[in-house]
Amino acid sequence: MSRSPSFSVKSELSPKLDPESLQQWVVAFCIIRFDLEQGQLIEECYPPGCLTQDEELEVAFSSFPDSVSQHQNRSSIHDCIFFFRFRRRGSSQIDASSTEMAEIDKKLTPKSPDVKVLRRSKSNNDSNDSRYMYGYVFNRQRHDERLKRGGEQKSVVILSHSPYSSVFRPLLQIMGPLYFDIGRKALEHIAAYVSMWPSPVPGKLMELPIGNAALKVNLPPAHSLPSENGMLFEESASSMAPFLPNNQSVPQGLFHDSDLFGIFRGLLLQLWVLWELLLIGEPMLIIAPTPPQCSEAVAGLVSLVAPLLCSVDFRPYFTIHDPEFAHLNSLQEGDTFPPMILGVTNLFFLKSLRNMPHVISVGSPAPNTNRLPLATRSSTGRISSRPEGFGFQQLSLKKFSPSNLLNAVKLRRDGPLCLMTEHKEAIWSTYSATTKPDTSILNRLIDAGMSPRVEESMSVVNNEILRRHFLELTTNFLAPFGPYFRTRTPSEGSSPFVDPPPLIPFNADEFLGSLSARGPGKFVSKRMRSNWLDLYRRFLEGPNFTPWFQRRRAVAEQEQHRLWRQARMKTDIQQLISKMSELEIVDSFNAIERHILEETQLDQSGRASTDSGATCQKLMGDLQAVFNVLPKDMQQLLLFNPQRAALLKGAPEHTKLPGRPLIQDGTCDYFVASFCFWSEITSPTSRSIFLPDVPESKYCQMNESSVSQYT
C-alpha cells in the first residue's frame, strides 16, 4: 500500500454511491459495540438492509475476541485486526465439491480467453450467490477505570464475498482509526470511494484510490477463487496445467500476503506435515492466544497449497456461537469430522472438540502493545507496521537439540489439554508424513534477532523463500495430472470444422497404476519417502481433488475450443474442400451451420467475444462456398427447406443483421431464416422476406433439432 502518512477525505466527494459497483468489492460496512447488558450490538450497517437478522448475529458474535488473553492488556487503547469466514444460511454443509462442479458446468461456457472480466450469474443481493462471507475486523479495546468493567470494545467490520485480504487489511488500517475520529461519515466516505473502484481483476496488480491514499495490491488469481461467490472469472490458458510462473511478483493462490514464517516460526520443521494434511483435506484445529494470530495461521496454511484450489472449509476465527458448532460438538469418538480448518482462541474447544484428529497451537501470548500505528506498505506489498498478531514473535530460530526432542515427547504425552495451563507451540497428530522437511530451505532462512526493523525486512525474504518452495512442491506434485489437461490442435490438412477430440479420460485406478510404474518425477521422488503413492491415493479421495481437476478440465476444454475456433478463422475453405469427398463436404456444411448457431447463441446471451461478428461473417462465407460445390441433387435436397430455398437462391445481396456489421453475402439471410432469430429481414432495397407459414406478428420458434431434419 502506498499512501501519505496523514489521511484526509475529499470534502467535495458526494456520499452517494452506486450499490451495484460497491458490491463488486464490499457487501457492507458494520460498526459493532459490545454492550454489558445486551452483548454484541450492531450500531451501524452501511448500506442499510444488506444483511439478514441471522447474518447480523453471525457477524456480531465473530467480531470480538473471545479469549481472556486480550483482557490482560492494561494499556489505554489496544487495536487488532483479524478476519473470519462464515457459511451463509441456506447453504449446503458438505456438498462443496458437487456444488462447485455444477457451477462450473453451468457457467464456464467456451468463449474467447481475451475476455477475462468476471460475469455475474445472479443479482448481488441474492443471498444464495455465495456460500460464504468474509468479515475483516478492526477491533479497538479502550481501558478506562471510570467505565463499567474498566473499559469498552468496538469493532469496525468490512463484509465481502471475496477473500481479498491484501485489499481489506490495509483498507481497515485507514478506515478503523478514521471511524473513531469522525464517526459514521467515515463509512459513507469510504463506501463512496470503494464504489468508484474498477471491477476486480484476479491475478493483477491494481491501484485503488482512497482519499489521498492509493492501495497498490495484488489480487489472488482466478484459479484460486471458488466459483460459488456469485461470479465466475474467466481463466486464461496459463492456469490450464500446473507450471511454475516466471514472474514471482504475481500471486499464485489465496492469502499470498500472509506472514507464513512469522506465525509458524516455532513449527518450521512441521510445515511439510501441515502441507500434506491440507493437501488431502484432513480436519485441523488451530489454536492461538489471539484472533489475529489464529486467523493469520489459517490464512498461512491455505496459502501453502498454491496453486491448488483449496476446497477445504476454512474458518480463520471460529467461535462457539457459530451455528455449526453444535453439530461439531455432537460428534462422538469414531465419528468423522468434516474437512475443516478451524482457527480458535477459546480453550473450551480443546474439550468440546477433543476428538479432532489434528491440533496445532501457534503464536505467543499478546504483549502489552498499545494503539495500532498507521501503516505503510512497501513495493513488495507487505505492511511495514502491523497490528498485534501479524508481526514476528520476538524469538530466535529454535535449535533442533536433544532437549527440544525431549520436550516434544513430553508434549505428545500430555496432549493438547496441557494448553489449558500454559500456551506452547506444538502439533498433536498421529499422521505420518510422506514428505521430508527440506533442511536446505530451512538453512536459507534468516534470523534477524531482536531488531524489529531488520526483522521486518527479513520477514519478506523468509516468506518468499518458504512460499516459493511450497509453490514448487505443490506444482511438481500436481504435474502427473498434466496430460489430462493437454489440448490438441487440428492436424495439417484436417478439417477444423469437426468437433475437437475429447481430452484424455481420467480413471483413478489407471492413473495410480501408471504413476506407480513411471514414478512422480525427480523433484517429488527426492523429497518423499517410498510410500508416496499413498499420498496421491489420499489426495484423489480427498475434498480438494475433484473441484481442482474439474476446473482445470473446464479451462482446458475452453482453451481447445479457442484454438479450433482460431483455426477455422484461418482456414482457406476452397483449398480445404478441394481435397474432400462428397460425404466430408456434406459433414462440413452441417458443422459450419452448427458453429454459426453457437456464435449466435453466445451473442444472444450477451457472452459473445469481441471478434464474434468477424467469425460469423467468415463462417457464413464458408457455408456458401461449401453449398456451391455440393452435387446438384444434394443442393436440391437442402432446398426442400423453403427458408433455405428463399435465402440461398433469392436472398437480397446485402443484409444488415441487428447488432452486426454489414455482411456482403446472401448467406446471412439463410442463417437468420434457418434459425429464426428474427421474423423479418429488411434489405437496403426495402424488400422484406417473411418466413413461410409464420404469422407476421410472431417470431418463429425453431431450434437446432428442428433444423436438423432438413440436413
**pLDDT digits 0-9 by tens, 277-317:** 999 999 999 999 999 999 999 999 999 999 999 999 999 99
Hey, which residues does 81 pair with through a beta bridge? 138
Q: Is residue 675 part of a domain?
A: yes
DSSP letter assigned to residue 399: P
Which domain covers residue 539, as residue numbers? Answer: 486-554
Q: Cβ(284)–Cβ(318) under 8 Å?
A: no
- Tens-digit pLDDT profile for residues 418-431: 888 899 999 999 99
Q: How would you class 104 by CB atoms within 10 Å of its CB: exposed for 0-12, middle for 13-18, buried for 19 or more?
A: middle
The more confidently predicted of residues 152 and 699 is 152
Q: Is residue 667 part of a domain?
A: yes
Shared-domain flag, residues 460 and 502: no
* pLDDT computed for residue 384 by the predictor: 35
Q: What is the CATH number of the domain that holds 292?
A: 3.40.50
Angle between helices 271-279 and 452-478 (to 10 degrees): 40
Shared-domain flag, residues 411 and 500: no
Whole-angstrom distance, CA of residue 399 vs CA of residue 71 = 33
Q: Is residue 193 part of a domain?
A: no
Shared-domain flag, residues 586 and 659: yes
Shared-domain flag, residues 332 and 449: yes
3-class SS letters over 292-352 = HHHHHHHHHHHHHCCCCCCCCEEECCCCCCCCCHHHHHHCCCCCCCCCEEEEECCCHHHHH
* pLDDT computed for residue 339 by the predictor: 96
Shared-domain flag, residues 666 and 689: yes
Residue 427 phi, psi (nearest 5): -130, 130
pTM: 0.79
Cell of 418: 496441557
The residue-averaged pLDDT of 373-388 equals 36
Split into its structural domains, the chain has a count of: 3
Shared-domain flag, residues 623 and 664: yes
Shared-domain flag, residues 398 and 270: yes
Q: Is residue 114 part of a domain?
A: no
Whole-angstrom distance, CA of residue 482 vs CA of residue 190 = 44
Share of residues in the chain with pLDDT > 70 (%): 70
Instruction: Please give the span between the terminal C-alpha atoms of the chain, in angstroms, as a whole number.
Output: 61
Whole-angstrom distance, CA of residue 692 vs CA of residue 695 = 8
How does residue 409 score in pLDDT terms, banded at 50, 70 and 90?
confident
* Single residue among 526, 554, 582 that ends a domain in this structure: 554
The residue-averaged pLDDT of 605-615 equals 81
- Tens-digit pLDDT profile for residues 509-537: 999 999 999 999 999 999 999 899 999 99
Shared-domain flag, residues 584 and 687: yes
Maximum average pLDDT range among 221-235, 337-351, 578-592: 337-351
* pLDDT computed for residue 308 by the predictor: 94
- Tens-digit pLDDT profile for residues 153-191: 899 999 999 999 999 999 999 999 999 999 999 999 999
In whole numbers, what is the pLDDT of the chain averaged over residues? 77
Sign for the CA dihedral angle at 558, 562, 563, 565 comes to: positive
Shared-domain flag, residues 503 and 648: no
Q: Is residue 153 part of a domain?
A: no
Q: Is residue 27 part of a domain?
A: no
Q: What is the DSSP string of 490-542?
A: PPTTS-TTSPPPPPPP--HHHHHHHHHHH-S-HHHHHHB-TTHHHHHHHHHHS
- Tens-digit pLDDT profile for residues 37-88: 777 889 999 888 888 899 999 999 999 987 544 444 555 888 999 999 999 8
The residue-averaged pLDDT of 632-651 equals 67
How does strand 284-287 pair with strand 359-361? Answer: parallel
Query: E strand or H helix at 287, and its extent?
Result: strand 284-287
The distance between the two most distant Cα atoms of the chain, rounded to a whole number of Å, is 100
Hey, which residues does 340 pair with through a beta bridge? 313
